[in-house]
Amino acid sequence: MTPTKRFNGQLKKPKLFNSPLALMAKGFQAHQERQQQLGLLGKPLARRAQRRCELCEAAGVALQPYEVPPAPAEPALETTLLLCDTCTEQIEDSRKRQPARWRCLESAVWSTEPAVQVAAVRLLRQLSDHDWARETLQGIDLEPEIEAWVVKEP
Ligand SMILES: [Zn+2]
């Protein structure tokens, strides 16, 4: 009998595969791809928003796409808003929120654009310790599919 070297069934994983650095690079790449896809929505978004922030209606300021969570696998026009930097920043960081500036939601919540309505209702609910926010919410009847989206976890 001659000894043969047998494959023991174990494959060595390339070291980089699961390293934190590789995962970070992967995450970064996914983010870049998403930004690129979002960029493609820029024109139709600008047309829909008429080059104004879709929540506070600011014009003549920088506007950027904002995906209303939960984001679908591929960015879509129906789930993306065009927002000014201030709106985006204050949505993402509740500590930076200036309640008075969000009175703009009193009209935004009536938007016929579902994504605008969803973002507005979510913010109003978070601001519901203010009378005006509560009253605005009381005055509006939400379609069941809008309500379902509002309460969907990101
Ligand atoms: Zn804005």
DSSP string, the chain: --------SPPPPPGGGGSHHHHHHHHHHHHHHHHHHHHHTHHHHHHHHTTB-TTT--BSS-EEEEEPSSPPSS--GGGEEEEEHHHHHHHH-GGG--GGGGGGHHHHTT-SSHHHHHHHHHHHHHTTTSHHHHHHHHT-PPPHHHHHHHT---
Report how far ligand 1's centroid is from the alpha carbon of 154 (Å). Answer: 21
Residue 70 lies in a domain: yes
Give residue 84 CA to ligand 1 midpoint distance, Å.
4
* 13 located within any domain: no
Q: How far apart are the CA of 130 and the centre of ligand 1, in A? A: 20
On whether residue 10 sits in a domain, the answer given is no
Q: Which domain holds residue 47?
A: 19-150
Residue 2 in domain: no
**From ligand 1's centre to the CA of 20, what distance in Å?**
36
Q: Ligand 1 mean position to 78 CA, how many Å?
A: 18
> For residue 11, is it within any domain?
no
For the chain, the domain total comes to 1
Query: What tens-digit pLDDT sequence spans the chain (154 residues)?
Result: 555 566 666 666 555 566 788 888 888 898 899 989 999 999 999 999 999 999 999 999 999 999 999 989 999 999 999 999 999 999 999 999 999 999 999 999 999 999 999 999 999 999 999 999 999 999 999 999 999 999 998 7
CA of 26 to the centre of ligand 1 (A): 31
Distance 10 CA to ligand 1 centre (A): 56
User: Is residue 1 a part of any domain in this protein?
Assistant: no
CB contact set of 132 (below 8 Å; sequence gap of 6+):
103, 106
Find the 64 Cα to ligand 1 centroid distance in Å: 10
pTM of the shown model = 0.82
